[in-house]
Amino acid sequence: MRCPDCEQVDPLVFDTTRLWFHVPTQDSFDKLTNLCDRKGIQMEKLDDRCISLTLSGSECNAFVVALYGNMTQHELKNVRVLTTDGKDPGALDIGRVVNGDVFVNRIKGSWIIEKVCDGQVETWYQPIYDFQDLDTPFGMEALLRMRDQNGAIIPADYVFRVAGDADVLFSIDLIARATAVETAAKAGYLGKIFVNFNPSSVYDPAYCLRTTAAAINDLGLKPSDIVFEITETERITDIDHLKGILNFYRRAGFMCALDDIGSGWSGLNLLHTFNPDFVKLDMELIRDIDTDMFKQSIVRNLINIAKDQGIKVIAEGIETQGEADFLKKTGADLAQGYLYSRPAPVATHQDKAPDWFRAA
């Protein structure tokens, strides 16, 4: 699933970095020039809204911290920044212009971005079982994991938040998906692979489909082995674009799932709009459902709606046998949660259940 053009994150800082700042107001211009004066940074005033300066890599990091402390978030959003590796900008550098807040966040989060782009990521998997067969998983959800310098796991939500703030969510999301599929395929996993798909990282499917399909074929998989799971549905802003992307992939044989159904009206609306192959019930609905009659009523209706449309229902976040018993009795098709298995590296699942994997 590799697509080098899509995964590339252009660097903003070099050993010697030339920077151009264009600011919208005189007040912002004064803040920027006064900051340079206080830091003893030589600058060239190109006009009353634009300056240029040259910094080393380490000086860039210190300058960004100071810039972040001297301008408001609103001001940074309206600043335009261009950097080059010490050279005058050329025509092709026009695509490297970023907003000031993106520039600051890209530098602040550079250590995470570098880890991801260098392949220093892991994929852990959590099994999804058919309620009628709890011995063999129907599929596994792939979950991004990354470690800090001390080896501790960094929460995936934090990684994606940093990526979003730095305007590289598209590249990071694609790398995470590619790593998830490659890791499971190389381990010889035999079930479906649920791969998270963030709607904020929408892209042109025609550009990437050929690369994706060819890579999956090379890994010995079929498109029907992959389920794109749409996460953070409440953030979807361009429904028509996302619907087009999903239709494009489904026609190529891939499957799709909607996450967190039941968390709001938008989720129900998306259920009608996208008609996915699977829906995942929101975990808040699952918690203590065996003793909460209000939740029971909601879930019964959601399951009935899904079944009327031929959509399989996944109950996610099951932690107790009582929750599992109610959901199975009510008609949920698939089960996922700590009651059955916690997320773990693929090697852990291979050791515990070698039958899930193709023999080496």
Least confident of 78-87, 238-247, 301-310: 238-247
Categorize the per-residue pLDDT at 200 as very low, low, confident or very high, splitting at 50, 70 and 90. Answer: low
> Do 221 and 288 fall into the same domain?
yes
> Do 185 and 323 fall into the same domain?
yes
> Do 99 and 160 fall into the same domain?
no
Distance, C-alpha 323 to centroid of its chain: 29
Q: Which pLDDT belongs to residue 203? A: 60
3-state helix, strand, coil in the chain (%, to 5): 50, 25, 30
pTM: predicted TM-score of the whole model, two decimal places: 0.83
Length of the chain: 360
C-alpha to C-alpha distances, 291 to 286, 287, 295, 296, nearest whole angstrom: 11, 9, 9, 8
The CATH number linked to 41 is 3.30.70.240
Q: How far apart are CA 248 and CA 212, in angstroms?
A: 12
> Do 247 and 332 fall into the same domain?
yes
Q: Which pLDDT belongs to residue 135? A: 85
Asked if 201 contacts 169 with a C-beta cutoff of 8 angstroms, the reply is yes
Q: Is the dihedral of CA 243, 247, 249, 253 positive or negative?
A: positive
Asked if 179 contacts 8 with a C-beta cutoff of 8 angstroms, the reply is no
Q: What is the pLDDT of residues 50-64, one digit of tens each?
A: 999 999 988 988 899
Indicate the residue among 43, 76, 108 that finishes a domain.
108
> Do 189 and 285 fall into the same domain?
yes
Question: For residue 1, is pLDDT > 60?
Answer: no
Indicate the residue among 108, 133, 161 that finishes a domain.
108
What percentage of the chain exceeds 90 in pLDDT?
52
Q: What is the mean pLDDT of the chain?
A: 87
Q: Number of folded domains in the chain?
A: 2
Q: What is the mean pLDDT of residues 236-254?
A: 82
Indicate the residue among 82, 108, 134 that finishes a domain.
108
Q: Which pLDDT belongs to residue 120? A: 83
Question: For residue 2, is pLDDT > 80?
Answer: no
Q: DSSP letters along 150-168, please?
A: TSPEEPHHHHHHHHHHTT-
Q: Which pLDDT belongs to residue 202? A: 55
Categorize the per-residue pLDDT at 197 as very low, low, confident or very high, splitting at 50, 70 and 90. Answer: confident
Distance, C-alpha 322 to centroid of its chain: 33
Q: Which pLDDT belongs to residue 109? A: 83
> Do 318 and 340 fall into the same domain?
yes
Token pair belonging to 1: 């699933």
Q: What is the pLDDT of residues 249-291, one digit of tens each?
A: 888 899 999 987 766 555 677 787 888 999 999 899 999 999 9
The CATH number linked to 124 is 3.20.20.450
Q: What is the mean pLDDT of residues 306-325?
A: 96
Pairing of strands 278-281, 255-261: parallel
Q: What is the mean pLDDT of residues 279-307?
A: 94
> Do 77 and 160 fall into the same domain?
no
Token pair belonging to 135: 């011995």
**Which residues form the domain of 67?**
4-108
Amino acid at 316: E
Question: For residue 159, is pLDDT > 70?
Answer: yes
Sequence-distant (≥ 6) Cβ neighbours of residue 341 within 8 angstroms: 126, 127, 349
β-strand partners of 43: 53
> Do 70 and 147 fall into the same domain?
no
Residue 206: how many other CB atoms lie within 10 Å? 10
> Do 243 and 283 fall into the same domain?
yes
Categorize the per-residue pLDDT at 29 as very low, low, confident or very high, splitting at 50, 70 and 90. Answer: very high
> Do 181 and 274 fall into the same domain?
yes
Q: Which pLDDT belongs to residue 151? A: 85
Question: For residue 204, is pLDDT > 90?
Answer: no
> Do 176 and 84 fall into the same domain?
no
> Do 54 and 166 fall into the same domain?
no
Q: What is the mean pLDDT of residues 291-302?
A: 94
Which stretches does DSSP call E strand in the chain?
16-22, 43-45, 50-56, 80-84, 98-99, 122-130, 133-147, 153-154, 192-197, 226-230, 255-261, 278-281, 312-316, 334-336, 344-345
Q: What is the pLDDT of residues 94-113, one digit of tens each?
A: 888 999 999 998 888 888 77
Sequence-distant (≥ 6) Cβ neighbours of residue 196 within 8 angstroms: 141, 142, 143, 144, 173, 176, 177, 229, 231, 259
Question: For residue 206, is pLDDT > 70?
Answer: no
